[in-house]
Structure 1
Amino acid sequence: MFRTILLGTFLAISAVPVMAADVARGGARVTTIFDHPLPSVPGKSLRGVLVEYGPAGSSPSHTHAASAFITATVIEGSVRSRINDGPEKVFHVGESFVEMPGDHHGVSANASNVESSKLLAVFVVDTDDTKLTMPDRP
C-alpha cells in the first residue's frame, strides 16, 4: 500500500509542468514553438516563434531570412516596434504588425520597464531557411 501511495505521489508531481523562468530585466528569449511544411505550397513552411521580453528587454536591430513574411501578435504586455524607416509604434495585447521580405526591424522591445511582454511571430518562409533572424551587429 505504501509503495502505491509513493508511486502515485511521484506520478502526480512529475505530471506538473515545469514553469519556465522569467526573462531577466533587459533580456529577451526566443523559442520556436512550431514548424510545419505547407502541403499546398511546396518548399514553404509555417513557423511560430515566441518572443519574450523581460522588463525593459529588447532585441538587437535585425533582418530576417530573405523569404520571410511575418505577422506578429502581442499576447502579453506591450511591445515597441519600428520597421524600416517607419515610425516607432507601441502594440498592445491582441494587436498585430507585419514584416515583408527584406524589411529591417530597427526596434523590437518591451514598452514597459516594469512588466514582461510576449509576442507570437508567425513566419511563412522557405523550408530550407534555417536561420530566421540576422542581427545587424554580430
Structure 2
Amino acid sequence: MKAIYTIAALGLLAGFGSGTALAHDEHAATAVQPNVTPVTQKDMPDMPGKEIIVITVDYPPGVVEHVHHHDANAIVYVLQGNIIEGVKGQPEQHLKAGDTFYEGPNDTHTVGRNASKTEPAKFLVFIVKDKNKPVVLPGDAGH
C-alpha cells in the first residue's frame, strides 16, 4: 500500500476509514494537492478500540491544504522543507525539518501549506484515533 494519494482520498484508503476534506474558500482555486502515503496502521492492544496510523505527506511547491478535522490526536514531524500549519484559534506556525506540530481531537486544521513556491516539503504524521472513526472529516466538523 505504498501508492500516493491526495489528502481528500486519505479517508477512503482501505483500512483507514472514510471521510473527505472540503475546500477552504480562499484557497479553493489551488490545483496542487498534497500527496499522502500510508506507512503503517496498528491496533493498540493496551488501549482497546484505539489504533495508531502513520502517514507521510508530501507538499509540492505552493500547495495549500483544505480545511479539515481529525477526531484524533495527531503529531506532525517535518522531514524536509518548510511548512505553515495552524489550527482554529491559534497562531500559524512556521515549521522546518526537525520541528513538530500537534493537533488534538477538538482542533480544526485551518492552515496547511508549503511555505515555498519552489521547493517541496515532506512530513510524517502519527495519528492515534478510535478505530471506528474516519481519519479525515470535512471542514470544522462542528468544532
Whole-angstrom distance in 2 between the partners of 1:74 and 1:132: 20
What amino acid is aligned across from residue 88 of structure 1 in structure 2?
Answer: E
**By how many angstroms is 1:106 displaced?**
0.5
Please say if residues 108 and 139 of structure 2, whose CA atoms lie closer than 8 Å, have aligned partners that are also in contact.
no
Residue of structure 1 in register with 2:138 after alignment:
135
The answer as to 2:52 corresponding to 1:40 is no
The answer as to 2:69 corresponding to 1:63 is yes
Whole-angstrom distance in 2 between the partners of 1:87 and 1:33: 29
Whole-angstrom distance in 1 between the partners of 2:78 and 2:120: 11
Please say if residues 36 and 45 of structure 1, whose CA atoms lie closer than 8 Å, have aligned partners that are also in contact.
yes
Please say if residues 83 and 96 of structure 2, whose CA atoms lie closer than 8 Å, have aligned partners that are also in contact.
yes
Let me know the Cα RMSD of the aligned residues.
Answer: 2.1
Residue of structure 2 in register with 1:85 after alignment:
89
Whole-angstrom distance in 1 between the partners of 2:73 and 2:61: 28
The answer as to 2:123 corresponding to 1:103 is no
**Number of positions where the alignment pairs a residue of Structure 1 with one of Structure 2:** 113
The answer as to 2:124 corresponding to 1:120 is yes
Larger Rg: 1
Whole-angstrom distance in 1 between the partners of 2:33 and 2:128: 26
Whole-angstrom distance in 1 between the partners of 2:67 and 2:36: 14
What amino acid is aligned across from residue 104 of structure 1 in structure 2?
Answer: T
Counterpart of 2:38 in 1: which secondary structure?
A: strand
Please say if residues 37 and 46 of structure 1, whose CA atoms lie closer than 8 Å, have aligned partners that are also in contact.
yes
Q: Which has the higher helix share?
A: 1
Whole-angstrom distance in 2 between the partners of 1:32 and 1:135: 20
Residue of structure 2 in register with 1:10 after alignment:
none
**By how many angstroms is 1:135 displaced?**
3.1
What amino acid is aligned across from residue 93 of structure 2 in structure 1?
Answer: K
Counterpart of 1:55 in 2: which secondary structure?
A: coil
Please say if residues 27 and 56 of structure 1, whose CA atoms lie closer than 8 Å, have aligned partners that are also in contact.
no
Give unpaired runs (5+ residues) of structure 2.
5-30
